Amino acid sequence: MGFFSPWFLAGFLAVGLPIYIHLLQQHKTTPLPFSSLMFFERRTQSSVKHRRLKYLLLFAMRVALLILLALAFANLYVSCARPAGATGNKLSIVAIDNSFSMRAGDRFEQARRGALGVLAALRPGDTAQIIAFDSRVQILTQPIEDAGALRSAVQSLQPGDGRSSYGELSRALRSLAQASRIPVEAHVFTDIQRTSLPVPFSELAVDSNTRLVVHPVARRTEPNWFVETVNAPPAIYQPNKVRIQATVAGAGTEAATLRASLALNGNVVESREVAVAAGGRATAEFFLNEAPYGLNRGEVRIESRDRLPADDRFPFSIERKEASRILFVHEARNSRAVLYYRAAIEASPDSGFSVESVTADQAANLDPKKFAIVVLSDVAALPGALEASLNSYVNQGGSVLISLGPAAATRSRVRVFEEALAGTSYAARSGDRFQTAASVDASHPALELVNHFEGVKFFQAVRVTPGKARILARLTDDTPLVLEKKAGDGRILVFASTFDNVSNDLPLHASFVPFVQRSAQYLSGFDSTPGHFPVGSHADLRSAREAATAVEVVAPGGGRALSLREAATARSFELAREGFYEVRRGSNRNELLAVHADRRESNLDVVPQETLALWQNAGDGPQGAGGPAEPGERRVGLWWYFALALLAMAIVESVVASRYLSVEREAGAAAAGRRAA
């Protein structure tokens, strides 16, 4: 017998309250008017009589109410032995941490041996279940009595590359306990990594019917050096002096000088010494002078000095390819716009585009399908053959950027855009000499870095009737400045001014380069996929337009990552392992995805003992305050018995109190009548 919440027994002190009410506040003297006291003898009146308890039954009931209330909150329990050899009275859950940090030293082997020891201690007929966890919980067996199947599940388990989450484990234990409807004893084998704790701490709570036993396979923090991240361009177009930066960090380490190396396709390209401060980080910079065309597997390595060598290398992918071509069509007399546009595209060496400029007449025999995008810069008229090929190009998924100026304003509509032009808007010389951008949709990919065209002066803009087009930016006089329209499978972006520094001064402002580059990337479908992903990320496989395209994914080990059905229909897939995934599409557009373990797993700092004790006692009921039950026994709480007795006592007390109060009121009324007489 014991109490789950013994501190509530301090409520017994409240028993003094009815004693005070019934004894000390009982003697009340009511002054009465009298003519003279000269014939009365002075003496001391004894108050012993007044200090005697009255209404003993009511007093006893009020004291009992307070005692029952304290006992109900203290939650008295009795221990009952389970019948020997009985089955189905307890479910033993063995949870094994198979996250990335369990690769350190022999941690996982310790966990496996401990789990097998727990299974060996089970009696014949006992029910057990095996689960593994990292960021997700994997149920390896159902609750079974087959000791051989349980041992096989433990022996087949291997450490993975995921990040552990004790919050996810506790959530799974709560769910399993509620489904089992019998007491649960959960044995958790883990390296008690501090970074695995959830915020808030309350997420660690388990069911009140669960006894949690944590078996740490790590007792102290171990020093660990690791490659934290790599900053490398996912694609390169000019192989000269491509800079790659890597961050080398230490957790719980002393100051050290490590040797870091850059490898490409398995060959070491460059090595250098890196000085890492105690528990700090340092940057190693490499220069890649040459890379083969196509997809390349890169890696930054450091020499191993700790018990977790798996994080001493960081994979990344880098692709060497030709720049995408942009066809820039302009009027013969206006070559200024192409100079500004080409300068903006080439401002970044890794923009991934090259500009080919031609006049409208020269473009008549060119095939737009050979270009990533087509730019029509203030063109008055297009040859009929080019108009037809552009319409086919857009309907089949191509993109066109149109800028409008004085030459384009001479027409009633832009043929490719198919929306009417309503003349030209000029800034009045008598009033405002220029217009500014009043509203800009900064969420659009083409405009997210233009900073609302701040400071740009627009002297002239062509008024466009929006029709079915979406307006992305407006001038202060409400003239549409940037519009977008989808045509077939392609898209058209319209800039209602020019790139030549005549109708506006946009080319002289910082927003010009990001507008040109981001609009080119958006229209060409430029994929800005990063060079590496953490384990647990999801990668896109196909867009809506590629719904019928077959996709094959090759996992790091060389096997297929998707079933035939998933390869035909899945829009995305999870990157569950460290290494390189090859994505092969029917459109001959292949990708190489480099996947690394979450570097929070590289911090081997352990949970403090006091926090570990709180976790083991994080249950909502018995295991939360009364300590763990002994094996072979179960605890039965008696609080609800006291709650029922408390309710009954409260009802009886109210009836008795009403009776006494009615007697006092009648006596008081009679005394008042005698005084009045």
Between 136 and 571, where is the model more confident?
136
What is the per-residue pLDDT across 344-360, written as a single tens digit (0 to 9) for each? 998 887 778 999 999 98
Strand partners, 226: 249
Q: Model-level pTM?
A: 0.70
Q: Are 135 and 162 in contact (CB under 8 A)?
A: yes
Residue 359: HSE in the Cβ half-sphere, 13 Å Cα cutoff: 7
What is the per-residue pLDDT across 287-339, written as a single tens digit (0 to 9) for each? 988 888 899 999 999 999 999 999 999 999 999 888 889 999 998 888 899 99
Between 565 and 349, where is the model more confident?
565
Q: Which uninterrupted H or E stretch holds 670?
A: helix 639-676
pLDDT of residue 84: 43
- Evaluate if residue 220 carries a pLDDT over 50: yes
pLDDT of residue 242: 86
pLDDT of residue 623: 41
Q: What is the mean pLDDT of residues 518-541?
A: 86
pLDDT of residue 249: 97
CA 587 – CA 549 distance, rounded (Å): 8
Q: Which residue has the tokens 């203030």?
A: 378
Q: Are 592 and 329 in contact (CB under 8 A)?
A: no
Nearest-CA neighbor of 553 among 595, 491, 495, 612?
A: 595
Q: Is the dihedral of CA 7, 9, 11, 14 positive or negative?
A: negative
Q: Are 492 and 413 in contact (CB under 8 A)?
A: no
DSSP state of 125: T
| Residues contacting 107, CB < 8 A, separation 6+ | 101, 191, 217, 218
Q: Are 421 and 462 in contact (CB under 8 A)?
A: yes
Q: Which residue has the tokens 């067996």?
A: 141
Helix 56-74 with 639-676: angle, nearest 10 deg: 150
- Evaluate if residue 423 carries a pLDDT over 70: no
What is the per-residue pLDDT across 124-157, written as a single tens digit (0 to 9) for each? 889 999 999 999 999 999 999 999 999 999 999 9
φ/ψ of residue 656, rounded to 5:
-65, -40
CA 376 – CA 159 distance, rounded (Å): 57
- Evaluate if residue 29 carries a pLDDT over 70: no
Q: What is the mean pLDDT of residues 379-383?
A: 85
Q: What is the mean pLDDT of residues 561-577?
A: 88
pLDDT of residue 48: 46
Three-state DSSP state, 580: strand
CA 241 – CA 226 distance, rounded (Å): 26
Q: How confident is the model at residue 622 (pLDDT cuts 50, 70, 90)?
A: very low
Between 665 and 569, where is the model more confident?
569
Q: Are 381 and 363 in contact (CB under 8 A)?
A: no
Q: Are 428 and 446 in contact (CB under 8 A)?
A: no
Q: Which uninterrupted H or E stretch holds 579?
A: strand 579-585
Between 650 and 217, where is the model more confident?
217
Highest mean pLDDT among 33-37, 57-61, 252-256: 252-256
Cα angle 556-560-565, degrees, rounded to a multiple of 5:
145
**Could you tell me whether strands 591-596 and 579-585 are parallel, antiparallel, or unpaired per DSSP bridges?**
antiparallel
Q: What is the mean pLDDT of residues 241-253?
A: 93
Structure tokens that stand for 8 in this block = 């509530």
Lowest-pLDDT range of 251-265, 327-341, 650-664: 650-664
Strand partners, 355: 326
